[in-house]
Amino acid sequence: MALTEHELPESAPADIDLRDQQPDAAQRNILDPGFNLTLRPMRYPVFYEMYRNAIKNTWTVDEIDFSDDLVDLQRKLLPAEKHLISRLVAFFATGDSIVSNNLVLNLYKHVNSPEARMYLSRQLYEEALHVQFYLTLLDNYIPDLAEREAAFAAIENIPSIRAKGEFCFKWIDSINHLQSLETKQDRKQFLLNLICFATCIEGLFFFAAFAYVYFLRSKGLLNGLAAGTNWVFRDESAHMNFALEVVNTVRAEEPELFDEDLGNQISTMIREAVDCEYQFAEDVLSEGVAGMSLNDTREYLQFVADQRLAQLGLPTEFGSSNPFGFMELQDVQELTNFFERTVAAYQVGVEGDVAFDEDF
């Protein structure tokens, strides 16, 4: 939603003219067909600020040192933990590519805000960076070429990962044929795509994967993987916040779209995502990982899902709490809470671990 002059913080950047904050009522809504190219006057400055914050959060894969991880893989990880990692990196191999394709094919062309498209352009770069990170991860972790090839084909040959792919395509491919959002039904389908993208794929599937990574880090294992995940965590939190801000903007401009039918479809989608991710957890933990039970993992997934529903203004489904103490506050960096919508601190070249608020 556009800010008014009175709502601007006193520290508003010098390159944002306060006169830009008053939206022109004659301009189109954010999902109206077309490509508004005019940045002045700026109708949605919140997206421009998100773009600026993302630039400050720049990192590179070259900063990550995997040398200690190789020692851990060879000498320290138990067989069950090695199985967990093999499944996790196999998911990583294709997960962000699905996200990138959806950005290009379905999201960019329908968000009619030049400020928001600036952010989406930056997000596409970040998704490519994540793909590079996971490529480098697999190249380091899996020296055997045949095994590495199988990991990259996981979406075809590992049932638990294939199920996640099928879930993604079920909910996000429904607008592939739409060249513009002409009807209310078109716009609801777009919202389902965006909400699946933000709350289920980035906001549940990837956040569950992060939990596995930080569980291993809590045992002193795979610090290189954890270091790279810190950066991906920051990016994914911001991506989700952006998508939710688009949803809130549409809600303010076209509240009639957010009817009972849409709410029911979102709740169904998130329940399906929990079931799908739990199937993956059954695979990941199938050999018995000490300290991480299936019951706790299910509770954690339901806890995350409830947070996502609350962010969307929908009733929670599960009433679950977070069973993973290792996801609580661990370091001194002031960062975004996974479940909060405000980016607290960004900085180029931040060093150190991720900090989590206690309600994680």
Report the catalytic residues. Answer: 134
Report residue 293 as tokens.
């039970």
Task: Using alpha carbons, select from 125, 118, 158, 1 the residue that is nearest to residue 57.
Answer: 125
> What 3-state DSSP class applies to 191?
helix
Cα separation, 76 vs 344, whole angstroms: 36
Contact 112, 30 (CB under 8 A): yes
Query: In angstroms, how far is CA 92 from the centroid of its own chain?
Result: 13
Peptide bond into 23 cis (omega under 30): no
Task: Using alpha carbons, select from 288, 116, 317, 128 the residue that is nearest to residue 204.
Answer: 317
DSSP per-residue letters across 310-338: HHTT---SS------GGGS--SS-----T
Report residue 251 as tokens.
């809600």
Cα separation, 198 vs 338, whole angstroms: 12
Largest CA distance in the chain: 66
Residue corresponding to tokens 């900090």: 355
